[in-house]
């Protein structure tokens, strides 16, 4: 029971990075391999705001999320859109974006190392006990989970109840038809990329309240996010949320029952199962 609750709580923050990525890949069609770096940069920013200015990380969200939105929009406009325009086919765009986001990955990682050094970071925030189903949990984890839930719900409402959200889902479904019904596809792709980056950064900010992180961890988060997205089905908000919780629980179970050093192995085990049995995702329909 403890494992399940801890896993679900962890899954909440994983869900945000995966939702961000699924927006970026599903709508903007950019496989952003630097997503873990956006996530980590938010961790470091929250850390810096808290230790230097005593800013509560939840207020920090109000600064970090818009900042990530603008930064990701700029990245899309200046770095990625030229690649979209020059690509002759999808395969070429895929290779180009993979290489370009690798470049961003190392650039951000190098800048983080330069600014904050290579040490492990953490800070104490809301480190009180909280009782749930008869066991004790960190209050910071519970609050972070609730905040993640709120953000994910807001995203869901945006995508399914507003005109902009509907347009984004139309682009995700079929960019050609979306264009025919008068949607500015390029603009929507840019907005979706920026929004995805902002949501990822929210996940990073929340994670930093209870997790120890360092500058070279980004790739691991990227891999987790990618696997959640594939497990849930690309572009599927519901699937990503459920897959994130599955991953959180599996990881916590392996870490506490077998060996904390094997968390990535458990992620890969899940990934392999998905690839072998449901490569289209949990709720996905097989593409013809």
Partner 1 sequence: MMRMSPSEIRLAVAGIAVLAALATLPLFDNGYYLTISLNIVLYAALCTAWTLFSGPTHYISLATAAFSGLGTYTVALGIDALPFPLLVVAGGIVAAAMAGLVGAATLRISGIYFVIFTLGLTELIRQIVTRVQTKFGKSTGLYVFTDFTEAHIYWMLLGLTAAIFLTGWLITRSRLGFALEVIGEDEEVARHVGIDTARMKIVLFMISGAFIGMAGAMLAPRYSYVEPPSAFNPMISFLVVIMALLGGTRRFWGPLIGVIPFTILMDLVSVYFPNDSSIVIGIAFLIIVYLLPQGLTGRLEQLWARMRHPQEHDKAAAAGERP
Instruction: For residue 144, state whether it binds partner 1 (rule: CB under 8 A).
Output: no
Among 53, 182, 257, 261, binds partner 1 (CB under 8 A): 261
Among 55, 84, 98, 126, binds partner 1 (CB under 8 A): 98
Contact 260, 70 (CB under 8 A): no
Instruction: For residue 40, state whether it binds partner 1 (rule: CB under 8 A).
Output: no
- Collect all residues with Cβ–Cβ distance below 8 Å to 105 and sequence separation of at least 6: 33, 34, 36, 37, 218, 219, 222
Q: Quick one: the chain helix, strand, coil %, rounded to 5?
A: 75, 5, 20
Contact 36, 107 (CB under 8 A): no
Contact set for partner 1, span 54-83 (CB under 8 A): 79, 82-83
Nearest distance from C-beta of residue 104 to partner 1, angstroms: 7
Nearest distance from C-beta of residue 258 to partner 1, angstroms: 9
Nearest distance from C-beta of residue 62 to partner 1, angstroms: 29
Cα 261 to Cα 124: distance, rounded to the nearest angstrom:
24
Contact 229, 22 (CB under 8 A): yes
Among 15, 16, 21, 105, binds partner 1 (CB under 8 A): 105
Instruction: For residue 113, state whether it binds partner 1 (rule: CB under 8 A).
Output: yes
Instruction: For residue 227, state whether it binds partner 1 (rule: CB under 8 A).
Output: yes
What's the first-to-final CA gap in the chain, in angstroms?
41
Cα 47 to Cα 53: distance, rounded to the nearest angstrom:
10
Of the candidates 192, 193, 186, the residue with the CA atom closest to the CA atom of residue 85: 186
Q: Which CB sits closer to partner 1, 82 or 173? A: 82
Nearest distance from C-beta of residue 105 to partner 1, angstroms: 7
Instruction: For residue 24, state whether it binds partner 1 (rule: CB under 8 A).
Output: no
Binding window for partner 1 (CB under 8 A); candidates: 40-48, 125-133, 180-188, 215-223: 215-223
Alpha carbon distances (Å) from 49 to 52, 56, 249: 6, 8, 30
CA atoms within 13 A on the CB side of 202: 28
Among 70, 102, 115, 127, binds partner 1 (CB under 8 A): 102
Instruction: For residue 146, state whether it binds partner 1 (rule: CB under 8 A).
Output: no
Strand-pair partners of 135: 132
Q: How many CB atoms lie within 10 A of CB 67?
A: 16
Q: Which CB sits closer to partner 1, 61 or 274? A: 274
Among 91, 119, 180, 257, binds partner 1 (CB under 8 A): 91
Among 17, 104, 151, 191, binds partner 1 (CB under 8 A): 104
Q: Which residues bind partner 1 (CB under 8 A)?
A: 31, 33, 79, 82-83, 91, 94-96, 98-100, 102-111, 113-114, 219-220, 222-223, 226-227, 230, 259, 261-262, 264-265, 267-268, 271-272, 275-276, 279
């Amino acid at each position: 029971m403890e494992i399940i609750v801890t896993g679900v709580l962890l899954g909440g923050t994983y869900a945000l990075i995966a939702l961000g990525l699924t927006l970026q890949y599903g709508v903007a069609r950019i496989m952003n391999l630097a997503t873990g770096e956006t996530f980590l940069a938010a961790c470091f920013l929250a850390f810096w705001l808290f230790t230097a200015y005593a800013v509560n990380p939840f207020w920090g969200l109000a600064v970090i999320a818009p900042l990530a939105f603008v930064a990701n929009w700029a990245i899309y406009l200046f770095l990625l859109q030229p690649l979209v325009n020059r690509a002759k086919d999808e395969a070429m765009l895929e290779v180009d974006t993979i290489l370009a986001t690798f470049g961003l990955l190392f650039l951000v990682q190098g800048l983080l190392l330069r600014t904050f050094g290579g040490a492990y970071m953490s800070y104490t925030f809301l480190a009180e006990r909280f009782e749930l189903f008869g066991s004790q949990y960190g209050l910071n984890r519970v609050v972070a989970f609730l905040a993640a839930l709120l953000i994910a719900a807001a995203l869901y409402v945006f995508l399914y109840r507003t005109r902009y959200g509907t347009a984004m889902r139309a682009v995700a479904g079929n960019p050609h038809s979306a264009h025919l019904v008068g949607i500015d596809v390029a603009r929507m792709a840019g907005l979706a990329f920026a929004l995805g980056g902002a949501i990822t950064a929210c996940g990073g900010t929340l994670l930093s309240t209870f997790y120890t992180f360092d500058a070279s961890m980004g790739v691991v988060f990227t891999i987790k996010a990618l696997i959640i997205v594939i497990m849930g089905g690309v572009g599927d908000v519901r699937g990503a949320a459920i897959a994130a919780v599955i991953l959180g629980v599996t990881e916590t179970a392996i870490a506490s029952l077998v060996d904390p050093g094997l968390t990535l192995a458990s992620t890969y085990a899940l990934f392999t199962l998905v690839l072998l049995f449901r490569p289209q995702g949990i709720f996905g329909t097989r593409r013809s």
